[in-house]
Amino acid sequence: MTEPDDLRSAIEQRANAIASGRASGVRLADGRVTVALDVAGLGADERELLAADLRRELGRMAGVEEVRVAMLAARKARTLIAVGSGKGGVGKSTLATNIALALGALGYKVGMVDADIYGPSQPRLLSSEGSRPEASGEKLVPIMSPHGIPLLSMGQIAAPGQAIAWRGPMAGKALDQLIDAHWGDTDLLIVDLPPGTGDIQISMLQKYKPAGAVIVSTPQDVALIDAARAITLFRDAGVPIIGMVENMAGYVCPHCGEISDPFGSGGAEHEAGTLDLAFLGRVPLHRDIRLASDAGIPPVAQGGAQAEPFAAIAGRIDTWLRSKGIGR
């Protein structure tokens, strides 16, 4: 007579052969078999056929009277990259938009979280104003932007022009809704943080610890002082700094071609060296970048010379991700 342990082992071997290694957690009690089936990545028809095969084939084994199949879909692990700055007005959101698009072009399945609860700008930058996300169950479903990047932002939920005057706990709950949403097969979330080092940043670091952070600054000293504070916040939370970006670095006169530096030059690169950080690149102060962003057609979506700095920065982020074993 077959012992229960021997029968359970035989059932487990048979189940794995039928399900190509997707079966696990076989239990046997009073002739009833329960088996867990990993259905991640399978379509609805494939799932039902595989479950039916298990019920039929295991039910034929001696000592088995009933077969129950529990379908499990493993939760998709997503990598979060935070884009932060110590102060506002340094072009952080524009950079976040363009590196999201550039990383998408490199093969990542990218989503955008506009975590700037009080001053959301991603709906404008990704041409998704007026689109309101729906809910499925208790979670929001991101809006797909015209540029192929799914997006969630308070700018899609609040009425246009409405002031979002929330205290920290409410803003933290809003952030939860944006990050813990139905992101589908997205594997990389770019989180566009608000400027500074306040409640939203702390909530995000504590609950959704990003894989890494990109710090954006303009070259002048006052911006770099605040950028250093943001770097300290991430480091204290154990979040690696991927590197620094110098934005608004040099202005080319459209009439004479002369290059001037209204905000200085090389400050962020020097600060990165001082803080032992990678320097990811610089983006010039250019009228075309501003016009494209206001129109909801980011430079990377258009290609050309204005897309090149963002593509180069995304390439260095890609290299960093792959060095950590979390790239494409």
Highest mean pLDDT among 41-50, 129-138, 156-165, 312-321: 312-321
Burial class for 159, CB neighbours closer than 10 Å (0-12, 13-18, 19+): exposed
Q: Could you tell me if 68 and 125 lie in one domain?
A: no
**Number of folded domains that form the chain:** 2
- Residue 41: per-residue pLDDT: 66
Q: Could you tell me if 194 and 220 lie in one domain?
A: yes
* Residue ranges making up the domain that contains 35: 4-72
Highest mean pLDDT among 7-21, 150-164, 215-229, 279-293: 279-293
Residue 123 confidence class, pLDDT cut points 50, 70, 90:
very high
Q: Could you tell me if 164 and 113 lie in one domain?
A: yes
Q: Could you tell me if 42 and 127 lie in one domain?
A: no
Residue 12's domain is classified under what CATH number? 3.30.300.130
Using DSSP bridges, classify how beta strands 212-217 and 143-144 pair: parallel, antiparallel or unpaired.
unpaired
- Of the three residues 54, 72, 90, the one that is the final residue of a domain is 72
Q: Is residue 328 part of a domain?
A: no
Q: Could you tell me if 157 and 66 lie in one domain?
A: no
- Of the three residues 47, 72, 97, the one that is the final residue of a domain is 72
Average pLDDT over residues 293-320: 94
Q: Is residue 151 part of a domain?
A: yes
- Of the three residues 72, 102, 132, the one that is the final residue of a domain is 72
242 close to 320: Cβ distance less than 8 angstroms? yes
113 close to 192: Cβ distance less than 8 angstroms? yes
Q: Could you tell me if 52 and 164 lie in one domain?
A: no
Other beta carbons less than 10 A from residue 210's beta carbon: 23
List, as one string, the DSSP characters of 240-295.
Answer: PEEEEEEEEEEEE-TTT--EE-TT-SSHHHHHHHHTT--EEEEEEE-HHHHHHHHT
Percent of the chain past pLDDT 70, that is, above it, reads: 92
